[in-house]
Amino acid sequence: MSSRKQRLLSRRRRQKRLFLLASLVVLAAIGVFVVWWLVPLVLVLGWIAHEAWFADHLFYSPQDDYRHSFPPEAARQSVSLVNGRLQLSAPLVAGETLILELCLRSTVVGRYLDPHVLLGDDRQDFERGVCGRRYLNLSGQADALGKGELWLKGRHCRLPVSGTLYSMHNPDYAERRVMLLAPHADDAELAAFGLYSRARDVVIVTLTQGEIEAGGYQRLGLNAAQAARLKGRLRSWDSLAVPLWGGVSQNRCVQLGYYCLRLTAMLAEPGQSFASRESADADVRSVRRQNPLRLPADADGLPSGRNLLADLVALLEHLRPEVIVTPHPQLDPHADHVATTEALAQALRQSRWQPEIALFYANHLHDNDRWPMGPAGSGIALPPAPAPLQADGLWSPVLSSEVQLDKAMALAMQHDLQGHLPFKKRLRRTIQQVLAGRRWPMTGEDEFFRKAVRRHELFWVRSLHS
């Protein structure tokens, strides 16, 4: 987690504690001067209300505008909503990625039930109490839109009479040579299963073993270090084996074997070795035996920044990818995700081979832990952007229902996404289902089964030659 998100979480928890303390003082006064049994009743009802409507981690106001911008080559045209249908002001400009900018306003009910927009056969959700500029993803709906037959209807929110449509045209990057960087096993599947499962020439490179937070394996009679070592082996195996479900053979997968939450320190002090924080292992070769090619760190196995950069340079020059897929350097706050893209940037400065295009993805966000909002299978609206982002293009390929199911099964194979929810989270979901109308998929209990298995995948497109 980034230091910024840690600060946001700390501030939110501090505010909750202060509110709770003030509430207890008021309730104590009520108990003394009115009736004592109101105090536990109000506490229980308050806790239920919190779990139903106030438990989301939202670090901005729902009334804030999103501040996305697009490159000059993105076509822009006005649209209007007439009798529930979206009408173009001019013929639709060719482009497979279509983004509709409009202002949404929540109804009173939309403060308690998730506001969403029904568009054709899709649904896209937004924050409770939304009131501001938002961006709907119309990718895959070009035929209906061009014919003036695309229906839009707001549920628990009001739609404006006009908006702005952005059209962006991209080649099919699945037809290019692709190198996909995954900080951990499962990141490739979460962000890009649809892309890599139909790619003509792809290599998936996973940077870490994923060995931390292995307490669940101690139930097998292992101590903390042994549990971390087992989890690292299992997740390393996931990174090599699960892509086969998407048609990517093991000889197209590379596991670098570095340790979780050590990448940032490795890049800061590239000459120093950084052992695992939980298993105490310090030799990355333990999980690299199945790699299809020999890399520089295989010589000494040291988990150092120098070896990481040398590995990435060797992969770039050997594989000669045209397209690099990697975490978004501004949107995704996970420390290992930030460090992965920074390591790539440093390796590119050393490499004799230069890819043409970077496709950025975000599996986590600074400001909203529920994005993409809404149920599994629905579209991906653009994420919150309280601060302006670089004006990158967008590419949002559409996944069929069959590919979505395959993606869900790929996630189900990942050891880190298996297991059952803790009682508190299960109770929270039950409360939200009953009182707030939320639904979760049957494919798995982890939140990523809802967030990642969608109608779209979404990538920010940046030229590396400009």
Residue-level pLDDT at 40: 75
Q: How far is CA 107 from the centre of its chain?
A: 28
DSSP string, 394-418: EE--B--HHHHHHHHHHHHT-GGG-
pLDDT in tens, 141-182: 999 999 999 999 999 999 999 999 999 999 999 999 999 999
Same domain as 261, residue 137: no
CATH number of the domain bearing residue 393: 3.40.50.10320
pLDDT (0 to 100) of residue 45: 85
Contact 382, 125 (CB under 8 A): no
- 270 and 335 in a single domain? The answer is yes
In 150-186, alpha helices (H): none
- Say if 194 falls within a structural domain: yes
Least Cα distance to 170 among 234, 270, 98 occurs for: 98
Predicted confidence (pLDDT) per residue in 415-465, tens digit: 999 988 999 999 999 999 999 999 999 999 999 999 999 999 999 999 998
Domain boundary (133, 168, 203) is at 168
pLDDT at 19 over 70: no
C-alpha pair distances (Å), 73 with each of 70, 167, 392: 8, 9, 10
Q: Any residues with CB less than 8 A from the CB of 425 and at least 6 apart, and which?
A: none
pLDDT given at position 41: 79
Tokens of 244: 């086969």
| 65 domain-assigned | no
Indicate whether 25 pLDDT > 70: no
Residues 139 and 198 in one domain: no
Contact 374, 127 (CB under 8 A): no
Question: Is the pLDDT reported for residue 17 higher than 70?
Answer: no
**Cβ-based neighbours of 372, under 8 Å, separated by 6 or more:** 125, 378, 380, 381, 383, 451, 454
- 191 and 308 co-located in one domain: yes
Structural domain count of the chain: 3
Task: Judge if 198 and 149 occupy the same domain.
Answer: no
**Contact status, residue 82 vs residue 380, Cβ threshold 8 Å:** no
Same domain, 191 and 267: yes
> What is the b/e burial string over 377-387, where b = at least 16 CB atoms within 10 angstroms of the residue's CB?
bbbbbbbbbee
Domain containing 200 equals 174-432+442-463
Number of CB atoms found within 10 A of residue 391's CB: 13
Indicate whether 191 and 215 sit together in one domain.
yes
**Predicted local distance difference test score (pLDDT) of residue 8:** 56
By DSSP bridging, strand 357-361 and strand 393-395 are unpaired
Q: What pLDDT, in 10s, does the model give residues 302-319?
A: 999 999 999 999 999 999
Beta strand segments in 121-190, E: 122-125, 131-137, 152-155, 157-158, 162-168, 177-182
Residue length of the chain:
466
Q: Which of 16-30, 46-60, 329-343 has the highest mean pLDDT?
A: 329-343
pLDDT in tens, 341-372: 999 999 999 999 999 999 999 999 988 999 99
Residues 230 and 303 in one domain: yes
The residue with greater pLDDT, 60 or 288, is 288
What pLDDT does residue 118 have? 98
Indicate if the alpha-carbon torsion angle 346, 349, 350, 352 is positive or negative.
Answer: positive
* Main-chain phi, psi angles of 116, to 5 degrees: -150, 160
Confidence of residue 57 (pLDDT cuts 50, 70, 90): confident
55: pLDDT strictly greater than 70: yes
Q: What pLDDT is stored for residue 44 in this prediction? A: 84
pLDDT tens digits for range 234-270 = 999 999 999 999 999 999 999 999 999 999 999 999 9
Domain-terminating residue out of 149, 168, 187? 168
189 and 287 part of one domain: yes
User: What is the average pLDDT across 9-34?
Assistant: 62
Of 262, 280, 275, 283, nearest to 225 by C-alpha is 280
Residue 1 has pLDDT above 90, yes or no: no
Average pLDDT over residues 205-232: 97
Are residues 123 and 258 both part of a single domain?
no
Domain assignment present for residue 60? The answer is no
